[in-house]
Amino acid sequence: MVAMTTMNTLSYVLNSGCCMKAQHMNGGEVNTSTVSTNTVGTQTDYTVTNNTVGTQTSDPNKEKPFVHVTVDSKDITLLQDTLKDPNITPEIINAVNPENGQTALHSAIFSDWIEGAKSLLQHKDIDTRIGDSDGNTVLHLVILKIQQMLQEQKPEDFPQLVQLRELIHKKLTSLDNTHEKNKEGNTPLHLLAAMMPSNKVSVEVVAEITTGFLSTALPPNLEYGLIAHDFNSQNKDGDTPLHVALKNNNLSLAKKLIEFLKPRSIALDLQNKNGDTPLGIALKKNEQEQNKQDIQSIIEQLCS
């Protein structure tokens, strides 16, 4: 199963418009409503229908780290002056909020402050590999936010979408970040594979992000070895990114993964916990009416 507490909280914030409320919740559950579901593993909870925020715990004896307070202010001058302070150590810049395990960088992206996120990313000691209470790194979170925007299809979000894509292409995509797993065993590539294009705009956006993501994470001169296997890693449900892409009709990414993995003799016949291989999923999809031509092309790739 793919735990989506960060996504749940994200949906709560987007629905309520109140980041501070989400970040200062005491224990317990908050239920909200969202959009359609995508299929990952044995669950359909990449995009939940009934959001439950239950893993954020509040400790009254612990205060929010200093840099987080600066991010909450959304004062870019204050943040930039703070980051110039020579007394800001790696421990300070990367301190986590005890309520949710988020760093200040997580918090900036979580609260839609992309300008602040860009400033934080320029600091030499920023660590983008830290996971929050769900194990989601900043790259996981950015991809989840893009997915949310594509599903809600609000034109006013498009400028923000462009900025988030820029973060992926120019700031966040590196070998260190692309293979980090969250607590459900999902890498950012699993989350990218779960993006289910539903219209022309989302198809184009997903294709662009996929191309930028893979081209940055897979430089031509890279010595593949273990790295290649990481792109075929399995989550707790046994799903590889290829399994997830096929389940969610993210066929552009599925094709690119096969093109990358197959020449490097990486096994494409791994079974998930349901006993399904990518080929098995593709064959089931081929029995349906939609995307027959693309699915048949993928089947040929897998069988060649």
Question: What pLDDT score does 90 carry?
Answer: 95
If you average pLDDT over every residue of the chain, what do you get?
Answer: 74
pLDDT band at 243 (very low <50, low <70, confident <90, very high): very high
> In this structure, are residues 206 and 159 in contact, taking their beta carbons and an 8 Å threshold?
no
CA–CA dist 293, 282 (Å, integer) = 12
As given in the structure block, the two tokens for residue 9 are 């909280």
Q: What contacts 216, CB < 8 A, 6 or more positions away? A: 169, 173, 174
Structural domain boundaries enclosing 281? 5-303
**Verdict on whether the full-model pTM lies above 0.85:** no
* Domain count of the fold of the chain: 1
Q: Comparing C-alpha atoms, which of 238, 292, 287, 47 is closest to residue 149? A: 47
pLDDT digits (tens, 9 = 90+) for 142-195: 888 888 887 777 767 777 777 887 787 777 776 667 788 999 999 988 998 998
- From the number of C-beta atoms within 10 Å of its C-beta (0-12, 13-18, 19+), residue 37 rates as middle
- Name the DSSP class of 170: I
CA–CA dist 202, 154 (Å, integer) = 12
Question: What pLDDT score does 171 carry?
Answer: 76
As given in the structure block, the two tokens for residue 290 are 């939609």
Dihedral sign (CA 121, 125, 128, 132): negative
Answer yes or no: is pLDDT of 11 > 70: no
Q: Check which CATH number belongs to the domain holding 243 and give it.
A: 1.25.40.20
pLDDT digits (tens, 9 = 90+) for 229-241: 677 889 999 999 9
pLDDT band at 12 (very low <50, low <70, confident <90, very high): very low
Q: What percent of the chain clears pLDDT 90, i.e. is strictly above it?
A: 38
